[in-house]
Structure 1
């Protein structure tokens, strides 16, 4: 029997294969995911860095575990119907851990799961001092991930951080081996030049994700240009996070300086907008529907 979940995953696979530079904003909780969906984006990335920063108040240095990302995936899946790409870091261990991670996140509502080849504990892809595991170990992890999924339309994203460690050519070589191992989407992290960006889709045949980190190593490149180059997904993992931080700083600075804070739409979202985003009218309707006579 075809379910809504399997239909959503199949439709997202078609979007990826269309290679039209789909913008993929990152969410760090259910509210940020609801806002992304409300603005009309077509898919959401659940960011490990964002969960670590916003929920733990810690840097992206491998502090997040499977329990945290699975819990956030569950909550976001309840809040939105869009396809969810879930950042699973290194898979939280060896190939057996990857198997467990994929099974857990698939049940939590993931439509694609991203795994990377860093040594544990990992670091943000745009930090210095990264290390990567051997190619053969990562190939085993990818095969374990592919075998673990129940729905063949659940996509496995294989990320390599080897560009910063071994150079661009080594990263391309790894990426092509990842495809042979069964990865559906490739993600070469922290490329540093426009020339490298322009060559990626020519050197790796599989669908690709490019990560645009605001303030990071990869040059900011427009979605139209990336679509023309043939990228499938254009990730802005922490645009919402960074803008939320700036918004909180602005509002709380005004409160501290003025001793009060009015409903100024230039500074804070109106009370009514907050209720709309969390679907309060729906719950009011359900409350009336199920009220005792």
Structure 2
């Protein structure tokens, strides 16, 4: 077992751990590629969330059903983490294999610049948490994943999020019991996926808040859970909330509307769909820096 280093974060207010220690509630929108990541990075959020659903769909055109692998995910995580200024929370499914894969995944995500990794207790291949027919591994195996993840990290500023999908198949009692076990195993943040009512969210907060780990909620409008506001969740005892589909859903609708207009009219002129002009696109992707470099160094 290697020793952990605790990074001095007194001069790094942007670290996720430091934000949570200050008691600030974290709203993290889902990002999955660099247009969305760069836009979200400018909006003042305390963290961003790399969604596995979004990466699987945007990178490979496949559903979030265990089809995207470690190499795809860690590569995308590194690209996003290095291209933004906000802390990045990243989905790592079940750790992409057995326990030694969990260790490898944690070390890879940490080296890529991610600040918090999400590990699930589903069987492989896993599925999106708001789809049916999810199955979880036995509790002892799920706890071992978290123990390995906690031991594998090199800095305590790298947070381990332990997610359980037990609610759908085994009920809320089992999900809460797993949350307690994950906190005892050293998880920094506990994630009870897809409670099915406001009362269930309230009960999760009552039974797990203050239990040795921070508490995260997943807001998926039109999914299995009701959407609650950040204020409501904070009052219930939650510390963070992710909105994985906040960008995917609107981007897909805007793309469909814009392309339908082009198909009907043979032009984009007059389209009612809001859009960036080229000046804003150039600025977003960093062309002003290129032009400044050329002024200084190009012959």
Question: Could you state the TM-score of these two structures normalised by the residue count of structure 1?
Answer: 0.94
The 5 Å alignment of 1:32-181 reads 32-181=36-185
1:25 maps onto 2:29 in alignment: yes
> Would the alpha carbon gap of residues 2 and 151 (structure 1) be closer, same or farther in structure 2, given more than 3 Å must change?
closer
Write out per-residue CA displacement over residues 126-157 of structure 1, whole angstroms, 9 at most, x where no aligned residue.
11001000111111111111111111110000
Instruction: Tell me which residue corresponds to 2:255.
Output: 248
Aligned 8 A contact 1:18 1:232 in 2: no
Please, which runs of 5 or more residues in structure 2 have no aligned partner?
A: none
Please, which runs of 5 or more residues in structure 1 have no aligned partner?
A: none
Aligned 8 A contact 1:157 1:183 in 2: yes
Write out per-residue CA displacement over residues 178-205 of structure 1, whole angstroms, 9 at most, x where no aligned residue.
0111100000001101111112122012
> Which is helix-richer, 1 or 2?
1
2: distance between equivalents of 1:234 and 1:278? 28
Instruction: Tell me which residue corresponds to 2:232.
Output: 225
CA RMSD of aligned residues (A): 2.1
Aligned 8 A contact 1:139 1:177 in 2: yes
> Would the alpha carbon gap of residues 170 and 188 (structure 1) be closer, same or farther in structure 2, given more than 3 Å must change?
same
Instruction: Tell me which residue corresponds to 1:282.
Output: 289
Question: Could you state the TM-score of these two structures normalised by the residue count of structure 2?
Answer: 0.92
SS in 2 for 1:239: coil
Write out per-residue CA displacement over residues 222-268 of structure 1, whole angstroms, 9 at most, x where no aligned residue.
11111222211111012111111011001100100110012757432
2: distance between equivalents of 1:217 and 1:60? 16
1: distance between equivalents of 2:207 and 2:258? 47
> Would the alpha carbon gap of residues 38 and 261 (structure 1) be closer, same or farther in structure 2, given more than 3 Å must change?
same
Aligned 8 A contact 1:6 1:153 in 2: no
The total of aligned residue pairs comes to: 292
2: distance between equivalents of 1:147 and 1:74? 21
